[in-house]
Structure 1
Amino acid sequence: MVTKRGLLELIFNKDKVTAPQQYPFNIPALKNFSSLKFHPKVTYLSGENGMGKSTLIEAIAVACGFNPEGGSINFNFATRTSHSVLHEYIRIAKAPIRPKDGFFLRGESFFNVATNIEQLDEGPGGKLIRNYGGVSLHEQSHGEAFWSLFMHRFSGNGLYILDEPEAALSPTRQMAMLARMHELIQQDSQFIIATHSPIVMAYPDAVIYELTENGLQKTKYAETENYKVSHQFINNYQNMVKILLA
């Protein structure tokens, strides 16, 4: 069935790259990489630290018009310019029907988004925080602020690009996040998520791309390194701890 809404594919314009040995073009994710097809429901980027998950998902978000530090399309604040130029070298193929909503969540800079919301609410007009549950995100724990975002700000027919959303969530809340994702997906939303969490990555109708030193490849859930390491530790934690502390 042909997908009629959301993001379809990322195309990497390698021919435009003039310095392949420099960052960000030297990250492992871009080895032998020319394109990536998005799942209409959920696309995951998985892999070890330093493999390029955040760099790649940031480029996707910026290429779609999101603020590099996070937020909706309408956010345009900047506290420190640190994003790469990778978005200038990729093209995003989109379906005819565009999402009506969207948000780019970066765990590391969500504090800046919360601050900008408060700054915008100081001006004339309605209170923006109402869209996030009505309580200042700075007056909640990091995890509660994330949860307010998922429950109040996200809606149907949206594009949600999330970089390590598990950073502030307990395992229980990560499971609840899957349920919330399912509600939104049934309302025609699409998720693109970079994550280390086997829980967050467990949505059944999804595609997983694992980033390694050899590049990027489509991988089954139980074959990802994050799943295998977590499974091995939890099921044999006493021996694993003995080995680690020897």
Structure 2
Amino acid sequence: MNAADDWLHDSRAVRRVSVYPDAAVEWNSWPASIPAVGQFLREGGREFAPGLTLLVGENGSGKSTLLEGIAMACGLPPEGGSNQGSHSTRPSESRLSEWLRIERSPSAPRWGFFLRAETMHGYYSYLEALPNSPDRDLHELSHGESFNRILDDKLNHPEYVAGLACLDEPEAALSFGSSLRWIAGLAEALQRGTQVICATHSPILASFPGASILELGEWGIRESTWEDLELVGHWRSYLDDPQRYLRHLLD
């Protein structure tokens, strides 16, 4: 198969996120002032592999900002949901999406979904108000149950053609058991051809076999493995001996 055939048969919803040459980036202001976002912009973007890409980092590292910019550049609503509908309560998004260009594969489905943990209440209200909506009971479920429903009915619904799923900290609602359920659910989504970009603090989700891991921090962005993540090292150390941390916090 030659390069032209590879291009035509490439099913990635996002092959590469590049930066417009004439993008009016404000380098000394947020979000470009975040080291990871600034590096992403200076390097002209990044190619994204098929399957699952994980953005891992501390609060403020830029993983959610970067994911939001990519999702919006793909035409997904900034407060979550699919590209088949949109709602808004209070705009708070950065200008990052205006600077990004999405390079898609010709055969890639255009369906996409953005799960943004902090705005799901508004998304549920939007769904509740739709005529003949099958999702009117999401507010009646627990936080975790509603996220599991989203996994089943949005990301893995058999009637939806696989495309792109952008997930912003889904673990915010998940117990240990539900996190494992999401591992299985993401595996099912990937098998159907969905490409997933997920920002996470969860060592469980970050352990997904074969995922591409990008670690974000004060250094910028670097490729990593699960074993080498600072997140995993801290959790291992804490669970091995909580007093190692607590004595410094509570004395």
Taking structure 2 as the reference length, the TM-score comes to 0.88
- Aligned-residue RMSD, C-alpha: 1.8
Identity of aligned residues (%): 38
Find the counterpart in structure 2 of residue 16 from structure 1.
23
TM-aligned CA deviation for residue 168 of structure 1? 0.4
Instruction: Supply the distance in 1 between the matched residues of 2:233 and 2:24 (Cα, whole angstroms).
Output: 35
Find the counterpart in structure 2 of residue 39 from structure 1.
49
| 1:73-102 deviation line (CA, Å, top 9, x unaligned) | 022211101111100101111112222532
Say whether the 8 Å CA contact 1:39–1:206 is kept in structure 2.
Answer: no
| 1:49-69 deviation line (CA, Å, top 9, x unaligned) | 111111110011000000100
Please, which of 64, 69, 73 is the counterpart of residue 83 of structure 2?
73
Instruction: Supply the distance in 2 between the matched residues of 1:237 and 1:18 (Cα, whole angstroms).
Output: 43
Instruction: Supply the distance in 1 between the matched residues of 2:177 and 2:29 (Cα, whole angstroms).
Output: 40
AA aligned to 1:25 is A
Kindly indicate whether residue 169 of structure 2 is the aligned counterpart of residue 164 of structure 1.
yes
Find the counterpart in structure 2 of residue 144 from structure 1.
145
Say whether the 8 Å CA contact 1:99–1:189 is kept in structure 2.
Answer: no
More displaced, 79-88 or 10-19? Answer: 10-19
Instruction: Supply the distance in 1 between the matched residues of 2:121 and 2:175 (Cα, whole angstroms).
Output: 18
Instruction: Supply the distance in 1 between the matched residues of 2:243 and 2:213 (Cα, whole angstroms).
Output: 30
In structure 1, stretches of 5+ residues that fail to align are 122-126
Find the counterpart in structure 1 of residue 227 from structure 2.
222
With over 3 angstroms needed to count, the CA separation of the structure-2 counterparts of 1:171 and 1:178, relative to structure 1, is same
Instruction: Supply the distance in 2 between the matched residues of 1:176 and 1:223 (Cα, whole angstroms).
Output: 24
In structure 2, stretches of 5+ residues that fail to align are none
Please, which of 106, 115, 118 is the counterpart of residue 108 of structure 1?
118
TM-aligned CA deviation for residue 15 of structure 1? 5.1
Kindly indicate whether residue 107 of structure 2 is the aligned counterpart of residue 97 of structure 1.
yes
Superposed structure 1 runs of 4+ greater than 4 Å apart: none
More displaced, 229-238 or 28-37? Answer: 28-37
